[in-house]
Amino acid sequence: MTVKGALFDFSGTLLRIEPTEVWLRAVLDARGVSVAPDDFARYAALLEAAGALPGGAPPRRVPPALAELWATRDLSAERHRAAYTGLARQVALPDDGLYDALYERHMTPAAWRPYPDAAEVLGELRRRGVSVAVVSNIGWDLRPVFRAHGLDRWVDAYVLSYEHGVQKPDPGLFTLACEAIGHDPCDVLMVGDSRPADGGAAELGCAVHFVDHLPADERPAGLRPVLRLVG
């Protein structure tokens, strides 16, 4: 197989969201809300269990009232926000404005950290003439995050579920990505961290490579095997 194009997932593949405790602390400080240390630890643990941080740990349990919304959260910006703020509202926080503030925080560049080898791998793919698209199940525009971290220069296209009303593993989203970079799926490699979602690219004939969904510090070179696969 000659790889002419590479599709990359976003969260857990190229960049990683900040830990729940950092996320919560940033929002509390920004809003001037003070809580006791024990309460802070409790809020952080409950938010993590609820799966309220997009890109973080999945919900341990999705309330029945949110089940349909959760399953289709990446089809629109409205559904994405409603799903995650709905999960967060299972936790009784001291300020009602915190729920929307927490959601807004996760969309900021400061909330995301590129994996240590992301720039190296994307830059080398560009040097080799391999086209790159980011294909993400998401409910907001991640382009500013890529620009802020200096990764946008190596990305040829962004194919985001909420902009097209289709989410992975539907082959339609991967089809759009292959079309965006102008390559036949048989010449394209999909790189992601979710077998159920990113594995959908295989239906089109794309090769698929999975990376481990780990904190950035624990995966310093997880993307480098992509360069060997590209050749």
Residue range(s) in the chain whose domain bears CATH number 3.40.50.1000: 5-16+113-230
Beta strands per DSSP E along 28-67: none
Report pLDDT for 23: 98
Report pLDDT for 102: 98
State the DSSP code for 57. Answer: P
Report pLDDT for 2: 85
Cβ within 8 Å of residue 32, ≥6 positions away = none
Report pLDDT for 182: 97
Report pLDDT for 151: 98
Q: For the segment 9-35, what is each residue's pLDDT rounded down to a tens digit?
A: 999 999 999 999 999 999 999 999 999
For tokens 């794309």, the residue is: 206
CA distances in angstroms from 99 to 6, 23, 28, 54, listed in the order given:
36, 12, 11, 13
SS3 210: strand
State the DSSP code for 91. Answer: S
Contact 118, 15 (CB under 8 A): yes
Beta strands per DSSP E along 50-187: 112-114, 131-136, 157-160
Low-confidence ranges of the chain (pLDDT < 50): none
CATH architecture, domain 5-16+113-230: 3-Layer(aba) Sandwich (3.40)
pTM of this structure = 0.96
Among 90, 43, 35, 40, CA closest to 62: 90
- How many residues comprise the chain? 231
In this structure, which amino acid lies at residue 38? D
